[in-house]
Every structure is written in structure tokens, then in C-alpha cells.
Amino acid sequence: MGGATGDRQDARVDRVGSPRRRRCRRLARGTRYPGWSLDMPRAGWLSPVVLSPVASAGDRCPYDVAVHAPLTGDTWVGIGPEVLPADDAVAWSTTPSCGAVVSFLGVARNHSDGRSGVWRLEYEAYESQVVPCFESIDSQLRDRWPEVGRVVMLHRTGIVELSESAVVVVVSAPHRGAAFTAAEFAIDTLKATAPIWKRESWADGESWSLEAAR
């Protein structure tokens, strides 16, 4: 992504103007979500706001901050601070026409490359860009594997404790070959292109990095 380096440096240097504080709550094109306040304490920086989905282009719904399943369409994408509904995502993706459902959960672990004693992760994102990015991945995926049924891409923001899911990807298809390859494409492309930053806290310190770099 062009500009990712500059954005990452800005996120590291200017904590007051970090992506968390500068973004608007915008989870889908043309839909703005209130609930943001600079006066909120760090642990409760976002008040959950539940909005009714509104039909959008291509019969895809924007989703509420609580990351609920869509009422229409075959694509579920979203980002927010709530615990990700992995079981609900699998259940929603299971349909009579699809004999294969592949799910991937990206879970916070207690170590990373060259670091031991990792005890917490934290994610920030330019949310106005994340959902369009996820929608683009879905479109590419369906062009390559038109037989795919339902697709889920959900990412969490804020603090993620060990063993909790930071990302959920689910793909269903009539047969396992397309489901496996499409799911792998979805998570690989998401990690490579989504404007999401990760902070690792470990025994000797902490650092921010672009999610695509880790």
C-alpha cells in the first residue's frame, strides 16, 4: 500500500492523533456511525451503537458496530471492538447449497518472531478504508471462484487478550477445493492490504507495526 509507511510512522509518533482518535466511525460506504468521543477513557473509548442495516449497492448491507450478521446478501464484513462471533459466522455461512465450510481464526498468541512473553495485542484501523478493502477482496475472490457461496471477513479493534480471536474468515462453497483456496486467498490478501495496525506488548516492551508486516 502506498503511504503505509508514512501512516505507520504517524501512528507511532502522534498518539493523540492516532488512527483511533482521527477516524470517523464509518463501517460502510455512505454510512456514518456515531458514538465517538475524545473524552472517553482509554478502556472505554467506544460506546456500542446498534443501527439497523440499510440496503447498499450490490445487495450488500452495512453492518452495525456490534458485528451482527447481515439481513440480506452473501457477504458479511465488519470491524469493531466486540468479541468476534466466530460460531455465528460459521453457522451463517452454512447453507443447503454448500457442502464445504472453511473457517480461519487468527488468535492472539504468547510469542512472535524473536519475542517471548507476549501478553496482549491491540489493534487500530482506518475503519473508513477497511470495509471497502474487505469488499474488494470479496469481489476478487468471487471473480476467481464464482461457485463460492457465503464469505465472512471480520476484524477486531482495541485490546485482544491471549487466545481471543483478532480476525475471522469463513468461506463456504459446494466443494472443499474452492472453499479452502478461497479462504486462504481471503486471509492472505486481508493481511497484506487492510490498513490495520497491531501493537504487541511483551515482557521487555511494546511496539506498533502495520498488520501486513507481521
Q: Residue ranges per domain, the chain?
A: 4-213
Say which CATH class 4-213 falls into: alpha beta
Nearest to 152 by CA among 93, 112, 213: 93
Confidence of residue 206 (pLDDT cuts 50, 70, 90): low
Confidence of residue 111 (pLDDT cuts 50, 70, 90): confident
Give the per-residue pLDDT at 13. 35
Task: Tell me: pLDDT of 199 over 50.
Answer: yes
Phi-psi region of 141 (alpha: psi -120 to 50; beta: other; left: phi over 0): alpha
Residue 175 backbone phi and psi in degrees, to 5? -130, 155
Give the per-residue pLDDT at 208. 62
**Each residue's pLDDT tens digit, 122-146:** 999 988 899 999 999 999 999 999 9
Name the DSSP letter for residue 36.
B
User: Which residues partner with 204 through β-bridges?
Assistant: none
Confidence of residue 19 (pLDDT cuts 50, 70, 90): very low
Give the per-residue pLDDT at 26. 34
What CA–CA distance (Å, rounded) separates 124 from 72? 28
What CA–CA distance (Å, rounded) separates 192 from 150? 22
Task: Tell me: pLDDT of 59 over 70.
Answer: no
Phi-psi region of 184 (alpha: psi -120 to 50; beta: other; left: phi over 0): alpha
Is 74 strand, coil or helix? Answer: coil
How far does Cα 67 stand from its chain's mean position? 10
Residues 154, 117 contacting (CB under 8 angstroms): no
Lowest mean pLDDT among 55-64, 80-89, 125-134, 181-190: 55-64
